[in-house]
Amino acid sequence: FAHKYNRPTLVTNSYAFPKGHQFTLFSLQMILDERKNKLLSISEMANLRGVLGRVSEMKDSGLTFVENSPSELVASVTEMLNYVDNKLQYSEHDLALLSQFNEALVKSGNPSMLKNYSRPCVSFLRKNQDLLL
């Protein structure tokens, strides 16, 4: 939508990584590996092929989605409002987190954020920065 109508778009509770000019900002659902009782890293999520979003395959693999919390949704909306009002500013730490996320995408064969213009909410990355490693 963002590219087609030149309108900023926020997607929350997303489970797919962007593969084109889809939206401006997004916040991913985390994925819990119930067998290991741990959240998957961003790289592990990006490498899920043929499983991600397919409920029966995910269940067979012991994976479940963890939806964004109300506070995460508020943070994402606030970030989008700042973007729309041209007030969104990134610190050096934020830029490093965006770079780490982009690196995880590219290593798993997904397009760079620089090519698809979609980027994760920094509020999401700050909260989940331990999963960028």
State whether the Cα torsion 101-102-104-108 is positive or negative.
positive
Instruction: Report whether 28 contacts 123 (CB < 8 A).
Output: no
* Sign of CA pseudo-dihedral 96, 52, 28, 63: negative
CA dist 121 to 37, 57, 129, 132, Å? 25, 28, 12, 14
Higher per-residue confidence, 117 vs 73: 73
Q: DSSP assignment, residue 24?
A: S
Query: Structure pTM?
Result: 0.82
Local confidence band at 126 (pLDDT 50, 70, 90 cut-offs): very high
> Is-contact 31 65, C-beta < 8 A?
yes
Lowest mean pLDDT among 3-12, 36-45, 71-80, 107-116: 107-116
- Look at residue 34 in the predicted model and tell me its pLDDT: 96
Give the separation between CA 15 and CA 24, rounded to whole angstroms: 16
Mean pLDDT to the nearest integer, 48-65 = 81
pLDDT recorded at residue 37: 96
Does residue 20 have a pLDDT over 60?
no
Task: Check if the beta carbon of residue 102 is closer than 8 Å to that of residue 8.
Answer: no
33 — pLDDT class (breaks 50, 70, 90): very high
Under the banding of pLDDT at 50, 70 and 90, the label for residue 53 is: low
Average pLDDT, the chain: 85
